[in-house]
Structure 1
Amino acid sequence: MNDLSFVMIIFFVTLGPIKVIPAFAQLTSEIAEGDRRALAIKASLLATAVGLLILFLGNKLRANWQIGSADLLMTGGVLLLIGALDAIKNAQQRPDTQAPPQSTRGLALSPVTFPIIITPYGIVALLLFAAVAENAQTFLVGVFGIFLGMMVADCLAMIFARQLLGFIRIGTLMAFGWLVAVLQAALAIHAIMSGLQQYGVIPGAS
């Protein structure tokens, strides 16, 4: 859990651009290019601010409520599994035919920041790594840097979503999305098992 490569994988699955591209492209399909770019930047800045609040203020609240890393592992595992199963289920259904909005008004906070960029399991991941870091400032700085990098990637993915979907076939993106969903389900089981090990319900690996 205190490995930055593991942090990158979790953030990529929970906060990364793969899920952002199709959702943002569909949402803004009737919006002008300039407005869409401004929306992407504004939402990315909002998401970054929210993430920083979760990392620092949210972690203090977690500590005050005496919520440990095992609790967050179990919670995150359940949410990751729900999200993965939902992604797999939605991938087999027809896309939403509801008419997309023609203006960016009111879209930056919801639904772009929440839940397109910042997902519920992304919030748990931020809290979990902040809890694991505790007084390890180097690790916390690494988590902070990876989170910022993911927000930059999300911003660029939204700005160039139309171009990316024109270059990448939708079938390829869907297949990669299914792969990410399966990996997310596997990470969910790993998180739940790790939480159970910390609780002492099952023995840890030797």
Structure 2
Amino acid sequence: MKPANPPSSGTLLRSAMLSVGFFCLVGAGAALAADVIATQAQTKRFPARQVFTFLFLMLGPIKIIGPFAMVTKGADAVLTRRIALWATLFSSLALLVAAFLGEGILSSYGIPLPVLSLAAGLILFLVALTNILQQFHPPAHHDDDGQPVAMPTLKTALTPLAFPAIVTPYGIAALVVFLALSPDIRSRLLIGAVMLAIMLVNLFFMLMTRLMLPVLSVLMPILGAVLGIVQVALGLQIINNSLRALGLP
């Protein structure tokens, strides 16, 4: 029997290029979804494409690969899988709690939906702008003094992976707004199905990080710069739409 051949560099490259292409399409479509998320009193069913596009950008795997690779450095395959599974579980539970509590908090404090979307746009804009500006800072020099790297534990699945890498404040705000604007149970079930799909995609990419990392380590800086600009523009678009919804020029 022949031993199983490891994946070729061509296979890795094709996988990475497909991921990059998909992410860029998602980023391009997110500007269209911004018009939906920042508009109040839209009592209609949102198309699944718009819901998926927006929530994928906010809560999807684009921002997870780098942090996951760093926190699982030095971990064996079994521990890496457990961290990925627990991070997915923690994230799903957090979003479930946010879905139940969010609309009640909006009603209790009388927060209009445009104000919530404005807050989400400001957070997204500031986070994306910070990430872009960090690229111009000189790399920090770390003096390890030959000390061994600390082994990761399951606690890293909760923080920093589940919070704030996967479950972001602006992602929770987007989820709450979509649920608040959902007119019936069918629309809410659609949003729940979309969130489940995104969490499964996150799990897949975390499990495949080590396989794709050799190629993505070259492509991620380029991809990060492109998506960073998209996120800055998306944040400004949400802010602009929210201000218009509040009746401000």
Q: What TM-score, normalized by structure 2, do the two folds share?
A: 0.74
Tell me, what secondary structure is at the counterpart of 2:64?
helix
Does the 8 Å contact 1:27/1:101 carry over to 2? no
1:172 to 2:216 alignment: no
- Give 1:58's aligned residue: 102
Q: For residue 109 of structure 2, what is the amino acid of its counterpart?
A: W
Q: For residue 132 of structure 2, what is the amino acid of its counterpart?
A: I
Q: For residue 83 of structure 1, what is the amino acid of its counterpart?
A: V
Q: For residue 68 of structure 2, what is the amino acid of its counterpart?
A: F
**1:158-197 alignment, distance < 5 Å:** 158-166=206-214, 168-197=215-244
1:40 to 2:88 alignment: no
User: Which of 178, 193, 196 matches 1:145?
Assistant: 193
| Structure 2 CA distance for aligned equivalents of residues 192 and 31 of structure 1 | 41
Mean CA deviation greater in 151-160 or 177-186: 177-186
- Give 2:43's aligned residue: none
Shift of the 50–100 alpha-carbon distance from structure 1 to 2, 3 Å rule, reads farther
Q: For residue 108 of structure 1, what is the amino acid of its counterpart?
A: A
| Structure 1 CA distance for aligned equivalents of residues 85 and 212 of structure 2 | 17
**1:1-206 alignment, distance < 5 Å:** 1=36, 2-93=46-137, 94=139, 101-133=150-182, 135-166=183-214, 168-202=215-249
Q: What TM-score, normalized by structure 1, do the two folds share?
A: 0.88
Gaps of 5+ in 2: 1-35, 37-45
Shift of the 189–45 alpha-carbon distance from structure 1 to 2, 3 Å rule, reads same
* Aligned-pair CA distance for 1:3: 4.1
Q: For residue 241 of structure 2, what is the amino acid of its counterpart?
A: S
Does the 8 Å contact 2:116/2:173 carry over to 1? yes
Report how many residues are paired. Answer: 200
Higher Rg of the two aligned structures: 2
